[in-house]
Amino acid sequence: MISKISYNQLGGADHGWLQAKHHFSFASYHNPKRMHFGPMRVINDDIVAPHKGFAAHPHDNMEIITYVRKGAITHKDDMGNEGRTKAGDVQVMSAGTGVVHSEFNLEDEETILYQIWMFPNKKNVKPRWDAKEFPKEPVTDKLKALVTGFNDPDSDSLKIYQDTTIFAGRMNKGTVIKQKIEQQAYVLCSYGKLCLNDTELSRGDGAEIVNLQEISITAQEDCEVLLIDLPKY
- pTM of the predicted protein model: 0.96
The band of 116, judged by pLDDT with boundaries at 50, 70 and 90, is: very high
Report percent pLDDT > 70 for the chain. Answer: 100
| pLDDT at position 35 | 95
Residue-wise pLDDT for 167-213, tens only, equals 999 999 999 999 999 999 999 999 999 999 999 999 999 999 999 99
| pLDDT at position 129 | 97
- Dist CA 86 CA 189 (whole Å): 18
The band of 27, judged by pLDDT with boundaries at 50, 70 and 90, is: confident
pLDDT score of 152 more than 90: no
| pLDDT at position 135 | 82
Residue-wise pLDDT for 39-72, tens only, equals 999 999 999 999 999 999 999 999 999 999 999 9
| pLDDT at position 155 | 75
Domains of the chain: 2-230 (2.60.120.10)
pLDDT score of 3 more than 80: yes
| pLDDT at position 72 | 97
Residue-wise pLDDT for 155-177, tens only, equals 789 999 999 999 999 999 999 99
Residue-wise pLDDT for 62-71, tens only, equals 999 999 999 9
| pLDDT at position 151 | 86
| pLDDT at position 233 | 80
